[in-house]
Amino acid sequence: MSSTVIGSSILIDGEITGEEHLVVRGTVKGRIQVRDTLVIEDGGLVEATVDAASITVQGTLRGDVAASERAELRPSSTVVGDIRAPRILIADGASFKGNVDMGG
Amino acid sequence: MSQSESTHSAVGSPDEATTVVAPGTHIAGRLSGQEDIRVHGTIEGRIHLAATLYVEPEGIIAADVHADDVVVAGTIVGNVSAAGSIVLAASARVVGDLRAPRLVVAPGAAFRGQVSMEPPDEDELEAEAEAGRGRREGRQYTGAAQARPAPPRATVYATQNGVRLPPQRTASRRDAVAKPALARPRLDEQAGDLYGDAEEADWGDGVKRSKKVARPRVLARGKHKVERI
């Protein structure tokens, strides 16, 4: 119940901040900052600077990513930007361009 | 969907809406889309929606809203215009101007602002869409303040010198509407004298008369609105 969902026909140009789980099926441009998990689902497009505890990408993400726990790129995902997270998972089939910083 | 149904759904069944803004979530900027949005959290900026916006009791909207329908059980600060209906449930707190062909205010709802029940002007809608298109192109979002340029409509009849006028202003506004209506017959007589029985004069008179017939209806529906005099 306490999770935010951005539907597929929704376009947000601005900033999303929150405490809860955030699911993006639509388009978000600007900045995202959540204390919980961010999931960019298939068809979702995020062109933003992202800061979250955990990030799962199945759609498209353009922008720099910082995750305090982990970042996961699923097979259908496209990511362009730098990723900074202690644990990073990139699945076979995922498309990624950018720098990786695992804090090592 | 009937009016009572939408009022009920403001309280129950959250699963209908595909987009949900949870209580701890804050969105600042421009939001547009074609599906229902249910707001438990906060949205700041501008909302343009071709569907229904539900503002739940804990939801706060500090934005100008344009939607097909708006159901408010929470708080809105900003102007709201709807193509269909605006429903203010008992727990609603609204400060701003409302514009919709249908408006329902439940007992217990708090509202301050103007009401217009005329459908939005087409050219006004076009201008708004144009402005939205212009802003969407070529610029990235940089801050909340920048994303909220004061909408032209707000400055026209909600504020003066940047300050929202007190309620008693509506009385003088009504005078402003009434005066031309009273003055009009005298103008018509003059026109009639000048042109005599010429066909052109008849045609001019006919136009004026048709305007005269239309005016009382407009006044009765949107009491405080000055339009096309």
Q: What is the pLDDT of residues B104-116, one digit of tens each?
A: 999 999 999 999 9
- Residues of chain B with Cβ-Cβ distance to A12 below 8 Å are 27, 29-31
Long-range contacts, stretch A85-92, CB < 8 angstroms, 24+ apart: A85/A55
Kindly state whether residue A26 falls inside one of the protein's structural domains. yes
Kindly state whether residue A102 falls inside one of the protein's structural domains. no
Flag whether residue B27 sits within 8 Å of chain A, measured between CB atoms.
Answer: yes
Give me the domain span that covers residue A67. Answer: 3-87
Read off the pLDDT band of A2 (50, 70, 90): confident
Q: How far apart are CA A26 and CA A29, in angstroms?
A: 10
CA A20 from centroid of its chain's CA atoms: 14
Mutate to test the interface with B, among A16, A21, A25 (most CBs of B within 10 A): A16
Residue of B111, B229, B96 whose CA lies nearest to B158: B96
H helices present in chain B, as ranges: 3-9, 122-136, 152-157, 169-195, 199-221
Residue B14 pLDDT exceeds 70 = no
A-B Cβ pairs (cutoff 8 Å, strict): 93
Read off the pLDDT band of A104 (50, 70, 90): confident
- Residues of chain A with Cβ-Cβ distance to B25 below 8 Å are 4, 16-20, 22, 34
Kindly state whether residue A30 falls inside one of the protein's structural domains. yes
Kindly state whether residue A93 falls inside one of the protein's structural domains. no
Window from A30-39, B16-25, B66-75 with minimum mean pLDDT: B16-25
- Please tell me the distance in Å from B101's CA to the nearest CA on chain A: 25
- Residues of chain B with Cβ-Cβ distance to A3 below 8 Å are 20, 22
Phi/psi class of residue A93: alpha, beta or left (left: φ > 0; alpha: ψ in -120 to 50)?
left
| Residue range A51-100, pLDDT digits in tens | 999 999 999 999 999 999 999 999 999 999 999 999 999 999 999 999 99
- Please tell me the distance in Å from B59's CA to the nearest CA on chain A: 13
Count of domains observed in chain A: 1
Kindly state whether residue A36 falls inside one of the protein's structural domains. yes
Kindly state whether residue A50 falls inside one of the protein's structural domains. yes
